[in-house]
Amino acid sequence: MSKKVRNAIIVLIFGNFLVCIGMSLIFPVMPFIKNELHLSATDMGIMNSLFAIAQLVASPIVGQISDKIGRKPILVGGLLLYMFSEILFAMTNWLWMFDISRTIGGLSAAMVVPTTNALAADLTTPRQRARVIGLLSAAFSGGLILGPGIGGILAKFDYKTPFWFAAGLGFLSMLSLWLMLPNEKEIEKIAANHPVPAQSRPPKRASWTQAKKLFAGPMGLLFLLILISSFGLVGFESIYSLYVNEVFGFTMGNIALVLTLNGLTSLTFQALLFDRLVVWLTEKRLIRYCFLLSFLGTG
């Protein structure tokens, strides 16, 4: 791996981590926004869901556009939107502006997260690809898990501080991508040096019959498990701060500490113990035990 490609991968990992922090930065601040502006729990729930809906709708569209105009413009534009969404959230006190900010944030996530994976695949050889995609996945998980803790710590100064901080990081990340990523001709040249074998290349468009067959088999169950676990994680982090603040009187520092410890524990298991647990318990038993522990911990 050349120095230019290595620097590009580092910038992609940082951009992925940053956008995922933006997804979850709001969670510990939610009860204080709710109390300060006299909003309802429904208002807060809609505000959070708009991010995910925008990302869900825009991701497949953005993927097709990036194939046509290139990865770099999509990534730079996505981080520009990310910065704008964080500034908008920090400047306003109107609910409808909060909703617009979260929608723009979801669009920026749709532009950055899938495109970083696609560009990483373009820049790496088949032997390097799995490791790099794994690092990008770890950055995604790390940002999503550590975001609430970081937001809670920064919000001790003011509940808008996390969003100004995220906007500043977004600007720096955008500049880094613009300056350090290869241009489209260089990316095409690098990709041409390690093409994907024809037998490993996926079809350009899957038929409805192929998609139906895929989701009817074991893959359908795996997708369902991922959906349930993701729904549970985001739902827990969204509701937890509101619940403990109203019922137990937790301060922002208490919420930040709990979510940070939770995130560090999760990252430790992912980074250090995951492989050993899979070998010891096998995948099926590990999944069952994880869902059982989630049920017991939530109850």
Domains of the chain in sequence order: 3-195+206-298 (1.20.1250.20)
pLDDT at 194: 57
Neighbours of 126 (CB within 10 A): 12
Question: Which tens digit of pLDDT belongs to each residue from 170-213?
Answer: 888 888 888 877 777 776 676 666 555 544 444 444 455 665 66
pLDDT at 215 over 70: no
Name the least confident of 153-162, 205-214, 259-268.
205-214
Beta carbons of 73 and 62 less than 8 angstroms apart: no
Question: Which tens digit of pLDDT belongs to each residue from 229-253?
Answer: 777 766 676 677 788 888 888 887 7
Compute the distance between CA of residue 148 and CA of residue 23 in angstroms, rounded to an integer.
9
- Across the range 278-291, mean pLDDT stands at 85
Q: What angle do CA 151, 268, 242 make, to 5 degrees?
A: 35
Question: Which tens digit of pLDDT belongs to each residue from 94-153?
Answer: 999 999 998 998 899 889 888 888 888 778 877 777 677 777 877 777 777 778 778 878
Which pair of structure tokens corresponds to residue 278? 């899979």
What element of type H or E holds 57? Answer: helix 41-69
pLDDT at 91: 92
pLDDT at 35: 85
Residue with more model confidence, 299 or 47: 47
pLDDT at 271 over 60: yes
pTM assigned to the model: 0.75
Count H helices and E strands in the chain, helices first. Answer: 13, 0
> Of 264, 289, 292, which Cα lies nearest the Cα of 277?
289
Name the least confident of 29-43, 88-102, 256-270, 276-290.
256-270
Q: What angle do CA 197, 113, 137 make, to 5 degrees?
A: 75
Rg over alpha carbons for the chain, rounded to the nearest Å, is 20
pLDDT at 268 over 70: yes
- Across the range 56-85, mean pLDDT stands at 87
- Across the range 62-86, mean pLDDT stands at 87
Compute the distance between CA of residue 56 and CA of residue 53 in angstroms, rounded to an integer.
5
What are all long-range contacts of 130-139, with beta carbons under 8 Å and residues at least 24 apart?
A: 132/9, 135/9, 135/13, 136/12, 136/13, 136/16, 138/270, 138/271, 139/13, 139/14, 139/16, 139/17, 139/20
Average pLDDT over the chain, rounded to whole?
Answer: 79
pLDDT at 200: 42
Residue with more model confidence, 192 or 272: 272
